Protein backbone atom coordinates (compact mmCIF):
# COMPACT_ATOMS: atom_id res chain seq x y z
CA UNK A 1 0.00 0.00 0.00
CA UNK A 2 2.76 2.35 0.73
CA UNK A 3 4.36 1.50 -2.63
CA UNK A 4 1.13 2.28 -4.48
CA UNK A 5 0.72 5.50 -2.67
CA UNK A 6 4.21 6.46 -3.55
CA UNK A 7 3.53 5.76 -7.28
CA UNK A 8 0.39 7.85 -7.28
CA UNK A 9 2.25 10.62 -5.69
CA UNK A 10 4.92 10.39 -8.38
CA UNK A 11 2.33 10.55 -11.16
CA UNK A 12 0.57 13.43 -9.51
CA UNK A 13 3.86 15.15 -9.02
CA UNK A 14 4.73 14.66 -12.74
CA UNK A 15 1.43 16.08 -13.86
CA UNK A 16 1.89 19.04 -11.63
CA UNK A 17 5.34 19.60 -13.14
CA UNK A 18 4.01 19.57 -16.76
CA UNK A 19 0.90 21.60 -16.18
CA UNK A 20 2.27 25.14 -16.71
CA UNK A 21 3.86 24.32 -20.12
CA UNK A 22 0.96 22.26 -21.25
CA UNK A 23 -1.53 24.96 -20.57
CA UNK A 24 0.72 27.54 -22.17
CA UNK A 25 0.87 25.56 -25.45
CA UNK A 26 -2.81 24.84 -25.23
CA UNK A 27 -3.37 28.58 -25.33
CA UNK A 28 -0.71 29.41 -27.94
CA UNK A 29 -1.52 26.63 -30.41
CA UNK A 30 -5.04 27.82 -31.29
CA UNK A 31 -3.65 31.31 -31.76
CA UNK A 32 -0.96 29.95 -34.07
CA UNK A 33 -3.56 27.98 -35.99
CA UNK A 34 -5.71 31.09 -36.29
CA UNK A 35 -2.75 33.18 -37.44
CA UNK A 36 -1.75 30.46 -39.91
CA UNK A 37 -5.25 30.25 -41.25
CA UNK A 38 -5.47 34.01 -41.60
CA UNK A 39 -2.07 34.07 -43.29
CA UNK A 40 -3.16 31.32 -45.70
CA UNK A 41 -6.35 33.13 -46.47
CA UNK A 42 -4.55 36.45 -46.95
CA UNK A 43 -1.62 35.01 -48.87
CA UNK A 44 -3.30 32.41 -51.06
CA UNK A 45 -7.07 32.22 -50.95
CA UNK A 46 -7.87 35.92 -51.40
CA UNK A 47 -5.54 36.41 -54.40
CA UNK A 48 -6.73 33.15 -55.90
CA UNK A 49 -10.32 34.20 -55.39
CA UNK A 50 -9.67 37.57 -56.97
CA UNK A 51 -7.84 35.95 -59.86
CA UNK A 52 -10.73 33.51 -60.30
CA UNK A 53 -13.28 36.32 -60.36
CA UNK A 54 -11.09 38.30 -62.75
CA UNK A 55 -10.81 35.30 -65.07
CA UNK A 56 -14.57 34.84 -64.98
CA UNK A 57 -15.08 38.53 -65.85
CA UNK A 58 -12.51 38.34 -68.65
CA UNK A 59 -14.13 35.17 -69.95
CA UNK A 60 -17.52 36.87 -69.99
CA UNK A 61 -16.02 39.91 -71.74
CA UNK A 62 -14.27 37.67 -74.25
CA UNK A 63 -17.47 35.73 -74.82
CA UNK A 64 -19.39 38.96 -75.42
CA UNK A 65 -16.71 40.23 -77.80
CA UNK A 66 -16.76 36.88 -79.61
CA UNK A 67 -20.51 37.17 -80.06
CA UNK A 68 -20.15 40.73 -81.35
CA UNK A 69 -17.39 39.67 -83.71
CA UNK A 70 -19.50 36.77 -84.94
CA UNK A 71 -22.41 39.13 -85.58
CA UNK A 72 -20.10 41.57 -87.39
CA UNK A 73 -18.60 38.73 -89.40
CA UNK A 74 -22.05 37.46 -90.30
CA UNK A 75 -23.08 40.97 -91.40
CA UNK A 76 -19.91 41.39 -93.44
CA UNK A 77 -20.46 38.00 -95.06
CA UNK A 78 -24.00 39.01 -95.94
CA UNK A 79 -22.82 42.30 -97.45
CA UNK A 80 -20.04 40.49 -99.32
CA UNK A 81 -22.50 37.95 -100.70
CA UNK A 82 -24.79 40.79 -101.79
CA UNK A 83 -21.90 42.65 -103.44
CA UNK A 84 -20.73 39.44 -105.11
CA UNK A 85 -24.23 38.77 -106.44
CA UNK A 86 -24.44 42.37 -107.69
CA UNK A 87 -21.05 42.11 -109.42
CA UNK A 88 -22.04 38.80 -111.00
CA UNK A 89 -25.31 40.34 -112.19
CA UNK A 90 -23.51 43.35 -113.68
CA UNK A 91 -20.98 41.07 -115.34
CA UNK A 92 -23.78 38.95 -116.82
CA UNK A 93 -25.49 42.11 -118.09
CA UNK A 94 -22.19 43.35 -119.54
CA UNK A 95 -21.68 40.05 -121.35
CA UNK A 96 -25.24 40.18 -122.61
CA UNK A 97 -24.84 43.75 -123.85
CA UNK A 98 -21.52 42.90 -125.46
CA UNK A 99 -23.04 39.86 -127.16
CA UNK A 100 -25.95 42.00 -128.37
CA UNK A 101 -23.53 44.65 -129.61
CA UNK A 102 -21.51 42.08 -131.53
CA UNK A 103 -24.68 40.53 -132.87
CA UNK A 104 -26.01 43.94 -133.90
CA UNK A 105 -22.78 44.92 -135.62
CA UNK A 106 -22.68 41.55 -137.37
CA UNK A 107 -26.23 42.11 -138.61
CA UNK A 108 -25.40 45.64 -139.78
CA UNK A 109 -22.37 44.31 -141.66
CA UNK A 110 -24.61 41.65 -143.16
CA UNK A 111 -27.10 44.36 -144.19
CA UNK A 112 -24.27 46.37 -145.71
CA UNK A 113 -23.27 43.34 -147.78
CA UNK A 114 -26.86 42.80 -148.90
CA UNK A 115 -27.27 46.49 -149.81
CA UNK A 116 -24.01 46.43 -151.72
CA UNK A 117 -25.39 43.63 -153.87
CA UNK A 118 -28.74 45.34 -154.46
CA UNK A 119 -27.18 48.75 -155.19
CA UNK A 120 -24.21 47.45 -157.13
CA UNK A 121 -25.09 49.37 -160.31
CA UNK A 122 -25.61 52.65 -158.46
CA UNK A 123 -22.35 52.18 -156.57
CA UNK A 124 -20.42 51.54 -159.78
CA UNK A 125 -21.99 54.66 -161.36
CA UNK A 126 -20.84 56.73 -158.37
CA UNK A 127 -24.38 57.76 -157.35
CA UNK A 128 -24.41 55.67 -154.15
CA UNK A 129 -22.02 54.57 -151.43
CA UNK A 130 -22.49 52.28 -148.43
CA UNK A 131 -20.73 52.38 -145.08
CA UNK A 132 -21.18 51.35 -141.45
CA UNK A 133 -21.04 54.16 -138.87
CA UNK A 134 -22.14 54.19 -135.22
CA UNK A 135 -23.76 50.76 -135.55
CA UNK A 136 -25.79 51.83 -138.57
CA UNK A 137 -25.75 50.91 -142.22
CA UNK A 138 -25.59 54.16 -144.19
CA UNK A 139 -26.49 54.65 -147.86
CA UNK A 140 -25.14 57.98 -149.13
CA UNK A 141 -26.41 59.66 -152.33
CA UNK A 142 -25.04 62.85 -153.96
CA UNK A 143 -27.58 65.66 -153.79
CA UNK A 144 -27.18 66.13 -157.57
CA UNK A 145 -28.55 62.58 -158.05
CA UNK A 146 -31.57 63.26 -155.83
CA UNK A 147 -32.75 66.86 -156.37
CA UNK A 148 -33.79 68.76 -159.44
CA UNK A 149 -31.25 71.48 -160.36
CA UNK A 150 -31.60 74.66 -158.27
CA UNK A 151 -34.57 73.20 -156.40
CA UNK A 152 -35.43 71.37 -153.20
CA UNK A 153 -37.80 69.10 -155.09
CA UNK A 154 -36.73 65.52 -155.69
CA UNK A 155 -36.23 64.84 -159.39
CA UNK A 156 -37.97 61.89 -161.15
CA UNK A 157 -34.61 60.10 -161.37
CA UNK A 158 -34.00 60.92 -157.72
CA UNK A 159 -37.37 59.45 -156.80
CA UNK A 160 -36.54 56.18 -158.59
CA UNK A 161 -33.19 56.07 -156.83
CA UNK A 162 -34.73 56.76 -153.41
CA UNK A 163 -37.44 54.12 -153.90
CA UNK A 164 -34.83 51.57 -154.95
CA UNK A 165 -32.75 52.32 -151.87
CA UNK A 166 -35.84 52.24 -149.64
CA UNK A 167 -36.79 48.84 -151.07
CA UNK A 168 -33.32 47.51 -150.33
CA UNK A 169 -33.42 48.93 -146.78
CA UNK A 170 -36.88 47.50 -146.10
CA UNK A 171 -36.17 43.98 -147.34
CA UNK A 172 -36.90 41.63 -144.44
CA UNK A 173 -37.12 44.31 -141.71
CA UNK A 174 -39.10 47.32 -140.55
CA UNK A 175 -36.21 49.11 -138.89
CA UNK A 176 -36.38 52.92 -138.60
CA UNK A 177 -34.83 54.94 -141.41
CA UNK A 178 -33.11 58.20 -140.54
CA UNK A 179 -32.78 60.67 -143.39
CA UNK A 180 -29.90 63.08 -143.05
CA UNK A 181 -28.80 65.86 -145.39
CA UNK A 182 -25.30 67.35 -145.47
CA UNK A 183 -24.75 70.73 -147.11
CA UNK A 184 -21.83 71.37 -149.42
CA UNK A 185 -19.69 74.52 -149.37
CA UNK A 186 -21.82 77.72 -149.42
CA UNK A 187 -20.07 79.00 -152.54
CA UNK A 188 -21.32 75.92 -154.40
CA UNK A 189 -24.94 76.39 -153.33
CA UNK A 190 -27.23 78.01 -155.91
CA UNK A 191 -28.15 81.57 -154.85
CA UNK A 192 -31.84 80.82 -155.49
CA UNK A 193 -31.75 78.26 -152.67
CA UNK A 194 -29.89 80.60 -150.32
CA UNK A 195 -32.61 83.19 -150.77
CA UNK A 196 -35.15 81.04 -148.90
CA UNK A 197 -32.61 79.09 -146.82
CA UNK A 198 -29.70 81.40 -146.00
CA UNK A 199 -27.96 79.05 -143.56
CA UNK A 200 -26.59 75.53 -144.08
CA UNK A 201 -28.76 74.33 -141.20
CA UNK A 202 -31.94 75.58 -142.81
CA UNK A 203 -31.03 74.24 -146.24
CA UNK A 204 -29.96 70.79 -145.04
CA UNK A 205 -33.08 70.43 -142.85
CA UNK A 206 -35.33 71.35 -145.81
CA UNK A 207 -33.59 68.80 -148.05
CA UNK A 208 -33.88 66.03 -145.45
CA UNK A 209 -37.59 66.78 -144.98
CA UNK A 210 -38.17 66.74 -148.75
CA UNK A 211 -36.54 63.31 -149.09
CA UNK A 212 -38.50 61.89 -146.14
CA UNK A 213 -41.74 63.13 -147.69
CA UNK A 214 -40.98 61.39 -150.99
CA UNK A 215 -40.09 58.15 -149.20
CA UNK A 216 -43.45 58.18 -147.44
CA UNK A 217 -45.66 59.38 -150.32
CA UNK A 218 -43.94 57.81 -153.33
CA UNK A 219 -41.95 54.87 -151.99
CA UNK A 220 -44.52 53.40 -149.56
CA UNK A 221 -42.29 53.76 -146.50
CA UNK A 222 -44.35 54.12 -143.34
CA UNK A 223 -44.07 57.57 -141.82
CA UNK A 224 -43.53 56.03 -138.38
CA UNK A 225 -40.25 54.58 -139.63
CA UNK A 226 -38.91 57.91 -140.88
CA UNK A 227 -37.04 60.75 -139.22
CA UNK A 228 -35.28 63.68 -140.89
CA UNK A 229 -32.35 65.75 -139.68
CA UNK A 230 -30.21 68.46 -141.26
CA UNK A 231 -26.49 68.23 -140.47
CA UNK A 232 -25.47 71.52 -142.13
CA UNK A 233 -21.80 71.06 -143.02
CA UNK A 234 -21.26 68.39 -140.38
CA UNK A 235 -21.32 64.73 -141.34
CA UNK A 236 -21.38 62.00 -138.63
CA UNK A 237 -20.75 59.33 -141.28
CA UNK A 238 -18.12 61.34 -143.15
CA UNK A 239 -15.13 59.31 -141.95
CA UNK A 240 -16.79 56.02 -142.89
CA UNK A 241 -17.62 57.38 -146.33
CA UNK A 242 -14.21 58.94 -146.97
CA UNK A 243 -13.21 56.30 -149.53
CA UNK A 244 -16.40 56.74 -151.53
CA UNK A 245 -15.23 60.13 -152.88
CA UNK A 246 -18.82 61.39 -153.01
CA UNK A 247 -19.21 65.18 -153.00
CA UNK A 248 -19.74 66.99 -149.72
CA UNK A 249 -23.37 67.81 -150.45
CA UNK A 250 -25.33 64.58 -150.09
CA UNK A 251 -28.30 62.74 -148.66
CA UNK A 252 -27.77 59.81 -146.27
CA UNK A 253 -30.28 57.10 -145.35
CA UNK A 254 -29.24 55.25 -142.20
CA UNK A 255 -30.73 52.06 -140.75
CA UNK A 256 -29.98 50.67 -137.29
CA UNK A 257 -31.21 47.18 -136.57
CA UNK A 258 -33.08 46.62 -133.26
CA UNK A 259 -30.15 44.90 -131.57
CA UNK A 260 -27.56 47.42 -132.66
CA UNK A 261 -26.17 49.83 -130.03
CA UNK A 262 -27.52 52.93 -131.83
CA UNK A 263 -31.04 51.78 -131.09
CA UNK A 264 -30.37 51.75 -127.36
CA UNK A 265 -29.60 55.45 -127.34
Alpha-carbon distance of 109 to 128, in angstroms, equals 17
Residue 252 lies in a domain: yes
In the three-class reduction of DSSP (H, G, I as helix; E, B as strand; rest coil), residue 130 is classed as strand
User: Would you say 244 and 182 are in contact if contact means Cβ atoms under 8 Å apart?
Assistant: no
What CATH number does residue 183 fall under? 3.30.1330.60
Q: Do 89 and 165 share a domain, yes or no?
A: no
Cα-based distances in Å from 111 to 61, 102, 219, 245: 73, 14, 20, 22
Within 10 angstroms of residue 210's Cβ, the number of other Cβ atoms is 21
pLDDT of residue 261: 43
pLDDT bucket at 8, cuts 50 / 70 / 90: low
Residue 81 lies in a domain: yes
Nearest Cα neighbor of 180 from 230, 224, 226 is 230
pLDDT of residue 217: 95
Tens of pLDDT, residue by residue over 129-155, are 888 888 788 999 999 999 999 899 999
Residue 13 lies in a domain: yes
pLDDT of residue 263: 41
- Answer whether residue 262 shows pLDDT above 50: no
- Answer whether residue 173 shows pLDDT above 60: yes
Between strands 226-230 and 177-182, the pairing is parallel
Sign of CA dihedral 122, 128, 131, 133: negative
User: Would you say 211 and 162 are in contact if contact means Cβ atoms under 8 Å apart?
Assistant: yes
Q: Do 48 and 173 share a domain, yes or no?
A: no
Tens of pLDDT, residue by residue over 105-127, are 677 677 778 888 888 888 888 88
Q: Do 64 and 137 share a domain, yes or no?
A: no
Of the candidate ranges 13-22, 36-45, 217-226, the one whose mean pLDDT is the lowest: 13-22
Q: Do 189 and 84 share a domain, yes or no?
A: no
Alpha-carbon distance of 237 to 140, in angstroms, equals 9
The backbone region for 250, taken as left when phi is positive above 0, alpha when psi lies in -120 to 50, beta otherwise, is beta
The backbone region for 40, taken as left when phi is positive above 0, alpha when psi lies in -120 to 50, beta otherwise, is alpha
pLDDT bucket at 265, cuts 50 / 70 / 90: very low
Does the pTM surpass 0.75? The reply is: no
- Reported as half-sphere exposure (CB side, CA atoms, 13 A), residue 186 has a value of 9
Domain boundaries, position 188: 119-264
Rg (CA), the chain: 53
Tens of pLDDT, residue by residue over 52-72, are 788 888 888 888 888 888 888
User: Starting from the edge strand earliest in sequence, which strands make up the sheet with 250-255, in order?
Assistant: 129-133, 136-142, 250-255, 177-182, 226-230
Q: Do 171 and 239 share a domain, yes or no?
A: yes
pLDDT (average), residues 80-86 = 86
- Answer whether residue 13 shows pLDDT above 80: no
Q: Is 221 exposed, middle or buried (0-12, 13-18, 19+ CB in 10 A)?
A: buried
User: Would you say 172 and 156 are in contact if contact means Cβ atoms under 8 Å apart?
Assistant: no
Mean pLDDT of all residues in the chain?
Answer: 80
Q: Do 59 and 127 share a domain, yes or no?
A: no
What's the structural domain count of the chain? 2
Nearest Cα neighbor of 218 from 119, 125, 146 is 146
Q: Do 99 and 124 share a domain, yes or no?
A: no
Phi, psi (rounded to 5 degrees) for 227: -145, 150
Q: Do 54 and 149 share a domain, yes or no?
A: no
Percent of the chain past pLDDT 70, that is, above it, reads 77
> Which of the two residues, 35 and 213, has the higher pLDDT score?
213
pLDDT of residue 12: 53
Alpha-carbon distance of 215 to 207, in angstroms, equals 13
- Answer whether residue 128 shows pLDDT above 70: yes
Q: Which of 46, 68, 103 is the last residue of a domain?
A: 103
Amino acid sequence: MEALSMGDEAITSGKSARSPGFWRWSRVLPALLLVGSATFVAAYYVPLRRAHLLLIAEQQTSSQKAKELEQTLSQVRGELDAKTAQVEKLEAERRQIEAARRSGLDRVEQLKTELSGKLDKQIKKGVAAIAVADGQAVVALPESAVFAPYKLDVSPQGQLLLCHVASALSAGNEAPIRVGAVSGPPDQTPPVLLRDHPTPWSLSAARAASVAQVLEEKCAVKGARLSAVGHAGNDPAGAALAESKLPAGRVELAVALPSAPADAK
